[in-house]
Amino acid sequence: MSKTFTWADVQSHNTRKTCWLVIEKDVYDCTKFLEEHPGGEEVMMENAGFDATDAFEEIGHSDDARDLLKGMKIGTLVDSVSSNWFEVLVVID
């Protein structure tokens, strides 16, 4: 069975040492890929610990990129709230 994570789990992985991204409802550990990313490390870090679906789709990544992504999947997200809402919850906590 696939591992499940909450936004709290995902958001704690927002550094160059441990960089997770969410695309659709799947969680990806992109740490090892940071230096290899053809689009650079910066754009990945801007999305670290967050939902990168829009950023990923807007670029129009190739099938190769999608294949690479598959290899980085570590599980799925269980929270029903979006990462934006999680941010709000953290602020008012």
Of 34, 45, 69, 74, the residue at the interface with ligand HEM (CB under 6 A) is 69
Determine the Cα–Cα distance for residues 71 and 78; give it in Å rounded to an integer: 20
Determine the Cα–Cα distance for residues 7 and 21; give it in Å rounded to an integer: 11
Chain residue at closest Cβ approach to ligand HEM: 39
Report, in Å, the least distance between residue 32 CB and ligand HEM.
10
Determine the Cα–Cα distance for residues 64 and 50; give it in Å rounded to an integer: 22
For 5: left if phi > 0, alpha if psi spans -120 to 50, otherwise beta; the answer is beta
Name the token pair of 64.
């190769």
Stretch that binds ligand HEM, among 4-12, 67-75, 78-86 (CB under 6 A): 67-75
For 89-93, the CB contacts below 8 A with 24+ separation are none
Of 14, 29, 31, 37, the residue at the interface with ligand HEM (CB under 6 A) is 37
Residue 45 in the binding site for ligand HEM (CB under 6 A): no
Site for ligand HEM, rule CB under 6 A:
21, 28, 30, 33, 37-39, 43-44, 47, 52, 55-56, 59, 61-62, 64-65, 68-69, 72
